[in-house]
A and B are shown apart, each in its own frame.
Chain A
Amino acid sequence: MVHYYKVNCVRDNLRLIREFVTVVLRNLSLSEIEVNQLVLAVDEVCSNLIIYSHNCDPNYFLEINIEDQSGKLLFEIIDKDADNFNMTEYKEPKIANIIKERRKGGVGLMLVNRIMDSVEVAVEDQRSIWRMTKKIVAS
Chain B
Amino acid sequence: MDSINLFGYKLTSCLHVNLNMQIKTTTEDKFHIIEIYGDVDASSSIKLDQSVEDAVKEGFKDILVDCSNLNYISSAGLGVFMSHIEEFKEKEICFALFGLSPKVKNVFEILGLDKLLQILDTKQEAKEIKDKEVK
Contacts and interface: CB of A to CB of B under 8 A. Distances in A.
A12 B111 CA distance: 26
Given A15-B41, A32-B102, A37-B106, A111 B79 contact: no
B42 A11 contact: yes
Contact of A105 (B19, B79, B116): B79
A102 B75 contact: no
Nearest to B18: A12
Nearest to B21: A15
Contacts of A98: 82
Interface stretch (B25-33, B61-69, B83-91, B122-130): B83-91
Interface residues of chain A: helix, strand, loop or mixed (majority):
helix
Interface residues of chain B: helix, strand, loop or mixed (majority):
helix
A43 B77 CA distance: 13
A96 B19 CA distance: 33
Contacts of B8: none
B19 A36 contact: no
Given A12-B19, A95-B111, A108 B43 contact: no
Q: Which of B104, B111, B116 counts the most chain A CB atoms within 10 A? A: B111
Interface residues of B, number: 31
Contacts of B75: 44, 105, 107-108, 110-111
Interface in A21-67: 32-33, 35-37, 39-40, 43-44, 47, 50-51
Nearest to B106: A33
A110 B74 CA distance: 12
B86 A15 contact: no
B56 to A, nearest CB: 12
A22 B100 CA distance: 20
A91 interface: no
B112 to A, nearest CB: 7
A115 B106 CA distance: 11
B102 A114 contact: no
A136 B111 CA distance: 21
Nearest to A103: B83
A24 B41 CA distance: 20
Contacts of A115: 110
Contacts of B42: 11, 14, 47, 50-51
Given A104-B83, A105-B79, 7 more contacts: A15-B43, A43-B74, A47-B42, A51-B42, A95-B113, A104-B79, A106-B79
